[in-house]
Structure formats: C-alpha cells, structure tokens
Amino acid sequence: MTHEHHPSDRHFDHCPWLFAAEASAEQRAAQDERRAAIGGDSEFGERCFVAGSAAVFPDRLRLGDDSYIAAHAYVTGELTAGADCTLNPYTTVRGTVALGDGVRIGAHTSLLGFNHAMAPDRPVFRQPLTSRGITVGDDVWIGSHVVVVDGVTIGDHCVIGAGAVVTRDLPAWTVAAGNPARAVRDRRDAGGSSSGRRDGGRSSSGRRDAEGGSVSLVRFAETVRAQAAGLLARCWDGERYVDRPGAAPTVRAHCDAVEIADLVLGAVPEQLTADAHVERLASAQDAASGLVPEVGEPVPEAEADGFIGEGAALYHVLSVGYALDLLGASFPHPVRGVRDMMADQLIARLDGLPWRSGAWEAGAWIDAWATAAHWNGVREHGSVEALFGWLLTRADPWTGMWGEPSSEQGRLQVVNGYYRLTRGSFAQYGVPVPHPERVVDAVLDHARDGRYFGAGQENACNVLDVAHPLWLCGRQLGAGPGGDGYRAAEIRAWAERQLSAALPRWRNGEGFAFGPGTQAGLQGTEMWLAIIWYLADLTGRSEELGYRPRGVHRPEAAGAR
C-alpha cells in the first residue's frame, strides 16, 4: 500500500508555487478558510494562495488568478493585483498599490504607497498621512530588498535590481538599479545603454523630465500638434472620414476629425473646405425628425413619445451639433421629438429609464435629450424645467447620483451614467449639481476599483467619467485649478497618476487608442486629448497644453465663450 506525501503548510508558505499541484484536499480546504477569514473588502481569483504566517489586514484586497502572498508578508491598505502576481517572503505592501499582470516581487521588498507629512510644528508621528499610491505595470520583476516609495509609477516590462530605492517613475522596458534607482538600459536592447532605448512607436513626450520634474505637458502638446494633420489624413479614405484605416466611414469619425483639428490646430481638417464640412454634416440631418442616422442607415423610427431610445443617432445629437458649432454653423432643423415632447411625456420617459440595470444608458439618453433641447433653442412646454425638477428630486443624497451600484460592476454604471447625465444637463446649462461633496466621495471610491483602474486597464470612458465629475464638483465647491478644496490632495494625486499613465500611450503617427487591446483612431484621440486637459487642470497645469476643449467635452456651459 502506498501513502501520498504532501509538503507541510510551512513548506507551502515559503514555496507557494507548489500549492496548486501538491496540496492535499485538507490543505486546500484550510486555504479556502484562511482567505475567507481575511478582513476588509477582499476578493480572490482562481488558485490564489495566502500564507498562514502572512499578516494581511487590508482595507481592500483584489488578487487575480494564480497570485500568491508568501510567508511573513505584511499587507495593509488597498492592494489590487492582476493575474500571476507574487509577493514573496517578507514583502511589505502598504497604502494604495496597484499591480498589473505577471508582477514578481522579491523577498524583503517594500512597496509603500503612503507617506508622513513632516512639518516642523509637531512630531512626525502626529503628522497626517498622505497617499498618492504606487502603480506597477504588467510583466515587472522587482528584485529583493527593493524600496518603492509613494507616488511612483513603474511601467510595463520593467526590471528593478536588488537593493534599489525607486523614487521616480520608470518608463516601460526600463532596467533600473541603485539608490536612488536610475535607468541602466532598455530591456529590449541586449546589453545596450539607456541612451540606445527604442520607443516602440511611442512618443517620449509623456515621460518625466530628465531632471525628475513633472510630466512634460508642453512636449506632449508639441508632439500632438506636429502630428495632428497627418493623423487626420490617415483617417480620410478619399471620400469620408473613418475612425482608423480599414474601418467603415462613420458620422462620428467626421465629427472627431473636426474636434481634433479645432482643439490642437485651431483650424478645420484640410481634406475639405470649411463650407464643405458644414454642408456635409448639415445635410446628414433628416429634415422631418431632426435626427442624423449613421452613414448608409435609415433614419431611426420614433417611439410613442416622438423621440428615440437608443442608437448612434442619439450620440450624433452631441457630436454633429458640436462639430457644426465649432465650424460656426448649427443644425438646419430642430430635433422634433424633443421640441414637441410635453413635460408629462418627459417625466414618463425618465421614470421608465433603466436606472437599476443600466444607469449609463439612462444618463446617455438624458445627455442626448438635453443637448437636443439646447440646439432647439426654444423651451416649450416647460420640459427643460421638468427635467431639472425630476433630477434634483431623484438624486440620492448619500451619493449625489442616480441609479444603484451592483455586485457585478460596482459603481461603474452609476458613475459613467452620472457623467453623461450631468454633461448634457447641469454642466451644459450651467446649473449646480446637487450634493457635490457626496459625488466626490462616490467617484473617488469608484476610482479605486481595480477592475477599471490599474496598470493598463483604463479606457477613455472610464477615466473621463471620473475626471469630469471631479472637475465639475471641484469648481462648484470653489476649488480652482490645482487649488485647495474638498479632498483636493486626493484628487490631484489621482489626476497625476492618470496623467503619468495616459501620456505614454500616445502612438506616433496614430494617436490614442480608446483602451487596452484597441487600435489607435480618431475617437480615442479626441477623447484622450480632452481627458488629458481635465487631468492637467485638476493638477493646476492645463495652461501648459496650450489648448482647451470647445466641443462635446467643453468645460464651460454651452452659452459661455
């Protein structure tokens, strides 16, 4: 008779990579109980392991599939880790830390995503704590006895030598060592120096200045202006604009081209004259309904109350309307379903929107309706007043928002719907939003959700839908650009981290991709350029960009110039 041998629990604590293949059924059950007993808001992927000797006391913990925390590690605060991440023995992770996929952290290494103030008026131990957080990209190897301090972003594919002290951001592919850590070479260059680094088709404009200053917005903006005309030409198929080469022509692509040219060149796209741009966009509007269908598609049919509920034509109310506005023109016809809608019909539609299951969809509908009312100009039937009355009386006083979070998506639908809703209503009409402090609380809470914010995970919608509410509520609460105000330090820190992550995503000759796994195109470029302005303004540095959105993403109310 044979006896199956399993390593001891102590063995697994120090060699957790063996657990998945060699643990007994009893040891697996004990591991399940151990993870379940961890306090705070904790979630674990498949085949995760937490050593019994590790001190894990998180406020929020997310471990992706096949990740582990080894013997005597010390974890507090908010840790978000992707798949295949390893915290080896005696690792310390504290404060706010986000790891991408495939991050290896050597023994006795410390990632300290918080700091003490040290003003001379009181002892250090009585000083307040601050936290800008640490962000680590995908496929990163951090050696043993390394220290990474608060506020640092380590790009994808970096390698950090043993004993290094990382005090500044490191671009993707950097091999760094020393105290303070400095770039030794680019990991893609076999034995090469950092001076021989290749940018892999990306601009260096988004990285930190060589002397360690803040992200160079000036150089970034110069790069965009130099390449903008080429980007627009790249997306012109000879007859119409496409989002990216090989894609089908769309109405939005034309509008995005107009927005980009206005934003960074102060001109119209050179593929057509200004009059020709106006004629093409204005003629796309259906005279009977006032709607703009997608290229090659029929005009959508109105619902019982005279307006539509979904589809590209809803967003075209925004994109075409603002493109014409930038060109010094306007829609030739009213959006009739909005012009003719009575207040009671509007209230019935608002009551029937999918607030529980699709707050984004509900917010997008209000955005389109309110923008159509703005273009129509004449406020008949008291419908606009009815809209604001409904919104003000339905806002949740605990969050300032509409809709409810879910266990599947957290606050994603609610926050994204909040941006679309307030963009078209409160922001566009210059009306103060209700409960702005609670909105800031809810949005900052959402911005810590590792499913949507972390190394390489952000897309344009999710970042914009946090940045704009923070900007809007901050101005309403009296905080100027980069100034003091409610939770201003946290907002600035979040914006700085997002800037550091966003700017290097610019692809020379192509622009920005909307998000991970997508190709660069006009939509991603238009959105990220606006997002970068908001992020820069939240840090008090938007003037360095030399541009300010005037179209769909304009910061001022629509009547302001």
What is the tens place of the pLDDT at every residue in 147-168? 999 999 999 999 998 889 999 8
Q: Where are the domains of the chain?
A: 9-196, 235-340
For residue 302, how many other CB atoms are within 10 A of its CB?
15
- Spatial distance between the Cα atoms of 154 and 548, rounded to a whole number of angstroms: 29
Note the Cα 450 to chain centre separation in Å: 11
pLDDT at 23: 84
140, two tokens: 């990163």
How open is the CA angle 361-366-369, to the nearest 5 degrees? 125
* Main-chain phi, psi angles of 473, to 5 degrees: -70, -35
Average the pLDDT over 81-93 and give the result: 93
Average the pLDDT over 486-512 and give the result: 92
Strand partners, 142: 105, 160
278, two tokens: 């106006």
Q: Shortest CA distance to 244 belongs to which of 254, 255, 234, 257? A: 234
Task: Tell me if residue 269 falls in helix, strand or coil.
Answer: coil
pLDDT at 205: 38
Task: Tell me if residue 519 falls in helix, strand or coil.
Answer: coil
Confidence of residue 22 (pLDDT cuts 50, 70, 90): confident
pLDDT at 78: 92
DSSP character at residue 300: P
Helix (H) or strand (E) holding 217: helix 217-234
- Spatial distance between the Cα atoms of 508 and 201, rounded to a whole number of angstroms: 6
Q: Indicate left, alpha or beta for 417 from its phi (over 0: left) and psi (-120 to 50: alpha).
A: alpha
- Spatial distance between the Cα atoms of 186 and 207, rounded to a whole number of angstroms: 15
pLDDT at 443: 96
pLDDT in tens, 463-490: 999 999 999 999 999 876 666 788 998 9
- Spatial distance between the Cα atoms of 303 and 262, rounded to a whole number of angstroms: 35
pLDDT in tens, 401-442: 999 999 899 999 999 999 999 999 999 999 999 999 999 999
Confidence of residue 114 (pLDDT cuts 50, 70, 90): confident
Confidence of residue 494 (pLDDT cuts 50, 70, 90): very high
**Who's near 273: CB < 8 A, 6+ residues apart?**
none
Strand partners, 60: 41, 78
**Who's near 252: CB < 8 A, 6+ residues apart?**
243, 312, 315, 316, 319, 522, 523
- Spatial distance between the Cα atoms of 427 and 433, rounded to a whole number of angstroms: 8
Tell me the angle at which helices 359-376 and 383-394 cross, rounded to the nearest 10 degrees. 150
Size of the chain in residues: 561
Q: Shortest CA distance to 476 belongs to which of 525, 418, 433, 443? A: 433
Which range is most confident: 15-24, 59-68, 200-209, 256-265?
Answer: 256-265
Average the pLDDT over 246-268 and give the result: 97
pLDDT at 196: 36
pLDDT at 4: 53
pLDDT at 559: 63
Confidence of residue 201 (pLDDT cuts 50, 70, 90): very low
- Spatial distance between the Cα atoms of 452 and 446, rounded to a whole number of angstroms: 9
Radius of gyration in angstroms for the set of CA atoms belonging to the chain, rounded to a whole number: 26
- Spatial distance between the Cα atoms of 37 and 58, rounded to a whole number of angstroms: 12
pLDDT at 214: 43
* 553 included as an active-site residue: no
Task: Tell me if residue 150 falls in helix, strand or coil.
Answer: coil
**Who's near 241: CB < 8 A, 6+ residues apart?**
232, 235, 249, 250, 253, 254, 256, 257, 269, 271, 522
pLDDT exceeds cutoff 90 at 200: no
Average the pLDDT over 304-313 and give the result: 95
For residue 409, how many other CB atoms are within 10 A of its CB?
15
432, two tokens: 């103060």
**Who's near 235: CB < 8 A, 6+ residues apart?**
241, 242, 243, 244, 245, 253, 257, 521, 522
Task: Tell me if residue 185 falls in helix, strand or coil.
Answer: strand
Helix (H) or strand (E) holding 389: helix 383-394
469, two tokens: 């509410």
Confidence of residue 235 (pLDDT cuts 50, 70, 90): very high
Q: Please, what is the average pLDDT of the chain?
A: 89
538, two tokens: 């939240």
Confidence of residue 355 (pLDDT cuts 50, 70, 90): very high
Confidence of residue 131 (pLDDT cuts 50, 70, 90): confident
pLDDT in tens, 319-343: 999 999 999 999 999 999 999 999 9
For the domain made up of 9-196, give the CATH fold: UDP N-Acetylglucosamine Acyltransferase; domain 1 (2.160.10)
- Asked if residue 94 lies in contact with residue 111, where contact means CB atoms within 8 angstroms, the answer is yes
In the set 72, 108, 116, 333, the catalytic residue is 116
Count of CA atoms in the C-beta half-sphere (13 A) of 493: 20
